[in-house]
Copies of this chain bind each other. A is one copy, B any other.
Amino acid sequence: MHTDLPLEELRVRRSAVVEPADFDDFWARTLDEARRADDEAPRLAPVSHPLRTLVVDDVTFPGFAGEPVRAWFRRPARADGRLPVVVEHVGYGGGRGHVLDGLAWASAGFAHLLVDSRGQGAGWSRGDTPDPHGSGPAVPGVMTRGIEDPETYYYRRYLTDAVRAVDATRRLPGVDPDRLAVVGTSQAGAAALAVAGLRDDVAAVVAQVPFLCDVPRAITVTDESPYREVADYLARHRDREEQVLRTLSYVDGVVMARRATAPARFSVALMDAVTPPSTVFAAHNEYGGPARLRVWPYNGHEAGEADDLAESIAFVSDVLGSPA
């Protein structure tokens, strides 16, 4: 069942999200602090694994506040010259997973950094990165941790990790920093949009069914987690609507999208109840650079799966040039 507005309305939808006056300052300061906290190069450690066609490293790089973030760095075992590189995050609840999962980008000839999500990684896939920050009373899940204030909000840390992952990636061995793409699905699509909006050195962007877009609408049109967690929080902390919406406006993918300029590929699924189509269209329709959007009419949040992936590999190859 289609879960949102008719397609013709989706095509022209704009978000009513209110952009905070100090949005750019907030992020400039946040990222500056993170860089100053620790600007060491990423550390690479060997991994025990059975793969023969790929080289794998266990990477640790400094994220928010310089805190260590883990990632898998995988690339073709035999490569000539510097490789185009793809930075990818993971969906809500999961971590970077097992080193045997998610081999497609590297097998397609890219250097590939798959970045952990701090404090998640005990849900649908395993992670290894802690989030060493507590919070006030919160709904289970990370969505409302520290949501009282943009300074303490979980996604401030998460998105800073995402921006810093690109800093780290540019210093990884064998990588061509001029050919760097950020890609992701759902929560990881939110990361990709944020990086696209907060950096100017990203060459291509892929945001599949991105989360965290047009949040004020999202929390009133779906009952599915993670947006639901915000509604659940406000169902209890009834006097904090303004405060919470303010916090969320600092991480909203629509605001990020307006600032982005790199070529982008979006996808959206019309039967998706997790990231409602109108919220994805809102981000796409306001994206600052050239953007294409693939509509999957009969999918839920799983969207295009490997079909999306194949199109994304083709798109990134187009924009960045194919791996040699």
Listed in ascending order, the chain A residues whose CB lies under 8 Å from chain B are 1-2, 49-54, 76-78, 93, 95, 97-101, 103-104, 106-109, 119-123, 125-142, 144, 219-223, 231-238, 241, 270-271, 296-300, 302, 304-307, 309-310, 313-314, 317, 323
CA distance A309 to B103 in the complex (A): 14
A238 x B299 contact (CB < 8 A): yes
Query: Do residues B144 and A108 form an inter-chain contact, with CB atoms below 8 A?
Result: no
CA distance A133 to B126 in the complex (A): 21
Contact partner, A221, options B1, B131, B133, B219, Cβ 8 Å: B1
A93 vs B51: C-alpha distance when bound (angstroms): 29
A134 touches B131 (CB 8 A): yes
Q: A104-B100, A122-B144 are in contact. Are A298 and B235 (CB under 8 A)?
A: yes
Bound CA span A132–B101, Å? 34
Check if A130 sits within 8 Å of B134, measured CB to CB. yes
CA distance A128 to B232 in the complex (A): 16
| Number of copies of this chain that the complex holds | 6
- With both beta carbons as reference points, the residue of chain B lying nearest to A116 in the complex is identified as B137
Q: List 23 A-B contacts (CB under 8 A).
A: A1-B231, A50-B108, A50-B109, A50-B313, A50-B314, A51-B107, A51-B108, A53-B76, A53-B109, A78-B78, A98-B309, A103-B107, A122-B232, A122-B236, A125-B236, A127-B137, A130-B137, A131-B135, A132-B134, A132-B135, A140-B142, A220-B270, A235-B302
Distance (whole angstroms) from the CB of A46 to the closest CB of chain B: 16
Contacts of A53 in B (CB 8 A): 53-54, 76-77, 106-107, 109
The answer on a CB contact under 8 Å between A107 and B52 is: yes
CA distance A310 to B138 in the complex (A): 23
Inter-chain contacts of A310 with B (CB < 8 A): 49-50, 98, 100
Q: Which residues of B contact A126 (CB under 8 A)?
A: 137, 236-237
Residues of B within 8 Å of A129, CB to CB, are 136-137
Chain B residues whose CB sits within 8 angstroms of the CB of A97 once the complex forms: 306
Residues of B within 8 A of A78 (CB): 78
Q: Are B298 and A100 in contact (CB under 8 A)?
A: no
- Contact assessment for A141 and B138 in the assembled complex, using a CB-CB cutoff below 8 Å: no
**How far is the CB of A245 from the nearest CB of chain B, in Å?**
11
A306 near B101 with CB under 8 A, answer yes
Q: Which residues of B contact A231 (CB under 8 A)?
A: 1, 271, 298
Contacts of A134 in B (CB 8 A): 119, 130-134
Question: Which B residues are in CB contact (< 8 Å) with A131?
Answer: 134-135
Question: With A50-B317, A127-B137, A221-B1 known to touch, is A299 a contact of B122 (CB < 8 Å)?
Answer: no
Q: Would you give the shortest CB distance from A65 to chain B, in whole angstroms? A: 11
List, in ascending order, chain B residues with CB within 8 A of A133's CB: 132, 134
CA distance A2 to B120 in the complex (A): 26
CB-CB nearest in chain B for A2: B220
**Smallest CB separation, A296 vs chain B (Å):** 6
Q: Could you tell me if B137 and A238 are in contact, using CB atoms closer than 8 angstroms?
A: no
Supposing A139-B122, A220-B2 touch, asked if A104 and B103 sit within 8 A by C-beta, the answer is yes
CB contacts (< 8 Å) of A120 on chain B: these are 137
Q: Contacts A126-B137, A130-B137 given: A234-B297 contact, CB under 8 Å?
A: yes
